[in-house]
Amino acid sequence: MKLRKWIQLGLVLSLIVPLAACSQNKAKKQASNRPKPTKVIQTPIEDTQFMMGTVVTLRVYNKGKDKVVDGAFKLLKKEAKEVTTNAKESEIDKVNDAAGKHPVVVSKDVYPILKKAYYYSKNSDESFDMAIGSITQLWRIGFSDARVPSQAEIASNVKLVDYTKVKLNDKKHSVYLAQKGMKLDLGGIAKGYMTDQVRNYFLDHGVSTAIIDLGGNIFVMGDSPKGTKSGNWTVGIQDPKQSRGTSIGSLPAKNMSIVTSGIYERFLRKNGKVYSHLMDPKTGAPFQNNLMGVSIISKKSTDGDGLSTATFDKGLKGGMKYINGKADQGVGAIFITKDKKVYVSNNLKKKFSLFSDTGYKYGPASDLK
């Protein structure tokens, strides 16, 4: 059966809701100081590089912005170095090394992602936990030394997964892991945060129309250069069993992000079993439920990244309830189960189109009750 190939496109436009007059004025000043975008062109300036264990592609549809694309990759490499674990001079590694000893002051680039990771750890009732590092480092799925740890190892290390013992100091921009052996792992939110950072960098350098793709974290800026009346892009929803760019359906979107997490991305095959890299912070092992893939539609890629991880822990029923509760924030989701059924959040039902030739079917509403 031939599957339709689509480029996953999603746009995240960061909406600043002023909490006070000063924040509103700051936002207006920032926007007014940005350079006027150059002419939109049909053939983008683009570059693809392998980094952070994934393929990163940037496409800019504004004329004469070659150096901006280069600058964006430099920004990504800088930030990846700061938040990656097991990397020489990584700020996160320094925090982990100081667990149970003393706080570590981090840079202005790193502290905001720690704040956001803490928010989702709390908001999701620990379905997402920023202190999952003791478990991910135990399994090492996605690396050459990946293995299946013993139950004793898992039981010992899962006790160290507790975001409430991550102490953040807003005044000093410091972070302290209160228990020795604790480890941060921002892999569940880092790509989303970096995607949003590139979007801001582009805006600051006269880019209005672009596609930012950090290995499945998609962010599309501006109206489609095809000149459609609505300005919408066609966003493909990833088939969890196929390579990137193969979709089970699509929806029109503009100023939104699409982030997909799935058990197909990184896994370990051992003794006839397949272990996903998506770890349950409560059990210290890969999630055990019927979900195969979750695509989150949101206004910021950081939110989409954190939510895609959190919903896996909650499963189909709990995950859908969690996402439907965020509809007023512009968040929606498409869930795909291992038996090839598709479930769509309430706010996307009139927008999403399921391709008829993919073998996937809509699941019954009774499954969500």
Give the number of other CB atoms < 10 A from CB of residue 100.
Answer: 12
CA quadruple 305, 307, 309, 311: dihedral positive or negative? negative
End-to-end CA distance of the chain: 33
Enumerate residues 6+ apart whose C-beta is below 8 A from 369.
317
**Quick check: helix, strand or coil at residue 295?**
strand
* Spatial distance between the Cα atoms of 49 and 195, rounded to a whole number of angstroms: 15
Q: Where are the alpha helices (DSSP H) in the chain?
A: 21-33, 66-83, 91-97, 111-123, 133-139, 151-158, 190-204, 301-324
Residue 140 in this model has a pLDDT that exceeds 80: yes
Task: Supply the pLDDT for residue 243.
Answer: 74
Q: pLDDT-derived band of residue 254, with 50, 70 and 90 as boundaries?
A: confident
Say which amino acid occupies 249. G
Q: Which residues contact 179 (CB under 8 A, 6 or more apart)?
A: 99, 100, 160, 162, 165
* Largest Cα–Cα separation, the chain: 60
pLDDT attached to residue 30: 61
Lowest mean pLDDT among 93-107, 159-173, 256-270: 256-270
Structure tokens at 64: 């004469």
Q: What is the phi-psi region of residue 172: left when phi exceeds 0, alpha when psi lies from -120 to 50, beta otherwise?
A: alpha
- Interatomic CA distance for residues 149 and 165, integer angstroms: 24
State the Rg of the chain over Cα. Answer: 20
Q: 18 pLDDT exceeds 50?
A: no
pLDDT confidence of residue 126 = 82
Residues 79-130: tens digit of each pLDDT: 888 887 766 678 999 999 999 999 999 999 899 999 999 999 999 888 899 9
The region, left, alpha or beta by phi > 0 then psi within -120 to 50, assigned to residue 255 is: left
Q: Quick one: pLDDT at residue 12?
A: 29
Contact present, 170 and 30 (Cβ < 8 Å): no
Phi and psi, residue 302, nearest 5° = -60, -45
Among 307, 281, 276, 285, residue whose Cα is nearest residue 294: 307
Q: What is the pTM of this model?
A: 0.86
Q: Read off φ and ψ for residue 5, nearest 5 degrees.
A: -100, 130
What is the spatial distance between Cα 187 and Cα 189, in angstroms, rounded to a whole number?
6
Q: What is the pLDDT of residues 187-235, one digit of tens each?
A: 889 999 999 999 999 999 999 999 999 987 898 888 888 877 888 888 8
Residue with tokens 């674990």: 85
State the DSSP string of 265-289: SSEEEETTEEEES-EETTTTEE--S
Cα 202 to Cα 183: distance, rounded to the nearest angstrom: 33
